[in-house]
Amino acid sequence: MSSGEAGMALFERRGEHYSPTLLSTGPWRPDALHGGPPSALIGGVVAAEAGEGEHVAGIQIDLERPVPIEPLTIVMTRRTLSRRISHLTIELHSPSGRCVAAKALLLRGEPISTIASKDVPPTAPDCLAPITWPDHRPGEALVFHRDAVEHRIVEGGYNLPGPSVAWLRLHGPVIAGETPSGLAQLLAVADFGSALSQAVAPGSGMALINVDVNVTLFRAPVGPWFCLEATGNVSDAGIGLAVTRLRDLEGPLGVVTQSQIAHVYKGAE
């Protein structure tokens, strides 16, 4: 890993603590993380805990409150239900208390013969140009979605009513000096399904913020590129649901579902 790549890391490991870098910052407030970096941290822990022959079939991540830009610690427990099914419970704690809770499902399958389903892949990322951010000003504070992630749009896009399709990848590692697992890389960007699925009218002064990330997989993800095919629906009560199909360069992977609540921008009330 080059020094430049290490400088793009989302966290630095310091003993049992993981200190967020400024690249982990979210768009809503300067003292809190985007949902992607803590999800990526959880993905790395789960991937490392999975034993030989175990498949990570699902991860449910609850973003209980804004994750502060403070050192984080991880608490994990395993519960074995049978020789083929295990659950992992993961919590992220900051000095002010628990901020993220997650649960992972690990399965042991048996090799079988399958019939390949018809798959029409989207335009490959190498054929697309990275998006630019028109509101970006030189010297502006770093934010995760713009500075740590590369986005290449196939269809639709951000700030547009969905559905949208996009390829995403991290510019650097999750933890400085460590090679991230495919699962960690995927969870870093799976959160963007919510933004790509937006089902509110452009210019309304509103956005839908997701409060969870639920990933279900039928095979192991292979990074760094992941494609998100996102659709969304929202009720008159201001509650939304984003559903995103996932794939990497090898083909389909699984799905992401996210619950959303309406947020009115300051000055738009």
Q: What is the pLDDT of residue 267?
A: 47
More confident residue, 6 or 157: 157
What is the average pLDDT across 34-47?
Answer: 96
Task: Please report whether residue 77 resides in a domain.
Answer: yes
Q: What is the pLDDT of residue 137?
A: 65
Q: What is the pLDDT of residue 3?
A: 41
Q: Is the pLDDT of residue 204 over 80?
A: no
Q: Tell me whether strands 239-248 and 251-264 are parallel, antiparallel or unpaired.
A: antiparallel
The pLDDT tens digits of the residues spanning 61-74 come to: 999 999 999 999 99
Q: Is the pLDDT of residue 139 over 70?
A: no
> How many domains are contained in the chain?
1
Q: Is the pLDDT of residue 236 over 80?
A: yes
Task: Please report whether residue 255 resides in a domain.
Answer: yes
The pLDDT tens digits of the residues spanning 142-170 come to: 999 999 999 999 999 988 877 899 999 99
Which residues touch 120 (CB under 8 Å, ≥6 apart)?
none
CA distance 267 to 202: 16
Task: Please report whether residue 127 resides in a domain.
Answer: no
Q: Is the pLDDT of residue 11 over 90?
A: yes
Q: Is the pLDDT of residue 251 over 60?
A: yes
Task: Please report whether residue 174 resides in a domain.
Answer: yes
The least confident of 119-128, 195-204, 205-214 is 195-204
Task: Please report whether residue 188 resides in a domain.
Answer: yes
Q: Is the pLDDT of residue 246 over 70?
A: yes
Burial of 77 (0-12, 13-18, 19+ CB in 10 A): exposed
Q: What is the pLDDT of residue 201?
A: 66
Question: What percentage of the chain exceeds 70 in pLDDT?
Answer: 93
More confident residue, 134 or 26: 26
What CATH number does the domain containing 180 carry?
2.40.160.210
The domain in which residue 148 lies consists of: 3-109+139-264
What is the average pLDDT across 122-136?
Answer: 89
What is the average pLDDT across 66-86?
Answer: 95
Task: Please report whether residue 123 resides in a domain.
Answer: no
The least confident of 4-13, 33-42, 213-222 is 4-13
Question: Mean pLDDT of all residues in the chain?
Answer: 90
Task: Please report whether residue 124 resides in a domain.
Answer: no
More confident residue, 196 or 204: 196
Task: Please report whether residue 62 resides in a domain.
Answer: yes
Where residue 123 falls among pLDDT bands split at 50, 70, 90? very high
Q: What is the pLDDT of residue 1?
A: 42
